[in-house]
Structure 1
Amino acid sequence: MDWMSVISEVGFPMLITFYLLNRMETKIDQLSQSINDLTISLRR
């Protein structure tokens, strides 16, 4: 198997996966912060 086909078959899906995981991590962090803020405001 030549290297170009390996890069195109494996590299592109890996790039997309890392991009999506990074975006999800950011959204989860924002959601977690919002939940913490809501918890604090409900305690008052």
Structure 2
Amino acid sequence: MEEIYTHIANLGFPIVISIYLLVRIEGKLNMLTESINELSKAIAGIK
């Protein structure tokens, strides 16, 4: 039984952290994409 806990601790924790970070980065990437699109429109308006 203790072997199962060890496997969960060694594999489960990194998986949970990875999923959490991917979800956070996805939101920031969406915001960055929107900002780049707005910047492109602003630059096109200047020309």
2:26 maps to 1:25: yes
TM-score computed with the length of structure 2 as normaliser: 0.80
When Rg is computed on C-alpha atoms for both structures, the one with the higher figure is 2
| Alignment correspondent of 2:17 | 16
CA distance in 2, matches of 1:33, 1:6: 41
Residue identity opposite 2:22 in structure 1: L
Secondary structure of the corresponding residue to residue 29 of structure 2: helix
* Root-mean-square deviation (Å): 1.3
Aligned residues: 44
TM-score computed with the length of structure 1 as normaliser: 0.84
Identity %: 36
| Alignment correspondent of 1:7 | 8
Write out per-residue CA displacement over residues 15-34 of structure 1, whole angstroms, 9 at most, x where no aligned residue.
00111111111111110110
Unaligned runs of 5+ in 2: none
Deviating 4+ runs (over 6 angstroms): none
| Alignment correspondent of 2:40 | 39
